[in-house]
Amino acid sequence: MRIYLASSSPRRAHMLAEWGIPFSVVAGDADEVMLDAAPENCAAQNALAKARSGTNHVDAGLVVGADTVVACEGRILGKPLDEGQARDMLALLEGREHRVITAMAAVLMPEKMEGARTSITRVFMRRLSENERDAYLSNSEYLDKAGAYAVQGLAASFIERTDGPMDTIIGFTMSDFYALCAELHVDMRR
């Protein structure tokens, strides 16, 4: 069975490659939206939209889309548009708990069978000094990250502890991927 990743995320591609799963990347043209819905629903809707848009480029195989959002104090944090927005996000996150939600959706083609899963990890970010914040924001890493940080990147030292799967924070929950494959009867051994 051919696997197609409807994502331009190098982290997601790296995770699949690390697990030795052969795949191809297809364009996932869906725009991410931050709805007033629950963060889990927002992530799930975005992941499904990405997977569905990826099917426009595939005749047969499994198309996988994923979306990660950060939720804190009732707000959904996507990717910051600029340094000011990233600074505001970090100010909201530091010194408190927040949730990182990664939703995965898959569409089996040509049958158009769909499945979706959502995983949540609680993250505790320590308080940052102004120097730490400024040094971090002087690098552009935050621009492509929900909540303006990457646990596997320069912000790793900001995290005091986590409760839940680490790969959920990175943006591709492998246990959910395998569960979707099983749910859609995709044999990964072929």
pLDDT value of residue 27: 80
The single residue of 31, 36, 59, 67 carrying the catalytic annotation is 67
Determine whether 67 is an active site residue: yes
pLDDT value of residue 9: 86
pLDDT in tens, 11-66: 899 999 999 999 999 987 777 676 667 899 999 999 999 999 999 989 999 999 99
- pLDDT (average), residues 87-107: 96
pLDDT value of residue 187: 82
- Full DSSP string of the chain: --EEE----HHHHHHHHHTT---EE----PPP---SS-HHHHHHHHHHHHHHHHGGG-SSEEEEEEEEEEEETTEEE---SSHHHHHHHHHHHTTSEEEEEEEEEEEEETTTEEEEEEEEEEEEEPP--HHHHHHHHTSGGGGGSGGG--TTTGGGGGEEEEES-HHHHHT--HHHHHHHHHHTT--TT-
pLDDT in tens, 161-174: 999 999 999 999 99
Which domains occur in the chain, in start order?
Answer: 3-183 (3.90.950.10)
pLDDT: which is higher, 177 or 30: 177
